[in-house]
């Protein structure tokens, strides 16, 4: 996202903060390590997880927040 969040899946809320490693070091390997760690947590399948939603059938994060 524009705020440095990398979501593991568009339909889920799990995300990794990339802003901190970007600001902490100018070494690309630090960012690469953060991205690899995030990818290792990526779900095997792709589905929209509505179990943690406030309103049934809606994500708590709008797609406009995710960017594209």
pLDDT tens per residue across span 36-50: 999 998 878 766 655
Residue 59 has pLDDT above 80, yes or no: no
Q: What is the pLDDT of residue 1?
A: 85
- More confident call, 6 vs 52: 6
Start-to-end CA span in the chain (Å): 8
Angle made by CA atoms 61, 63, 66, in degrees to the nearest 5 = 85
Q: What is the pLDDT of residue 29?
A: 95
Residue 16 has pLDDT above 90, yes or no: yes
Q: Tokens standing for 61? A: 């994060």
Q: Which of 52, 55, 39 is nearest to 7 (CA)?
A: 39
Average pLDDT, the chain: 79
This prediction's pTM:
0.65
Spell out the long-range contacts of 58-63 with Cβ–Cβ below 8 A and sequence spacing 24 or more. 59/11, 59/13, 60/13, 61/7, 61/13, 63/10
């Amino acid at each position: 996202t524009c705020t440095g969040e990398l979501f593991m899946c568009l339909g889920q809320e799990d995300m990794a903060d990339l802003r901190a490693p970007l600001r902490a070091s100018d070494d690309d390997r630090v960012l690469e390590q953060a991205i690899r760690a995030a990818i290792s947590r990526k779900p095997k399948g792709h589905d929209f997880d509505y179990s943690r939603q406030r309103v049934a059938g809606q994500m708590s994060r709008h797609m406009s927040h995710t960017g594209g």
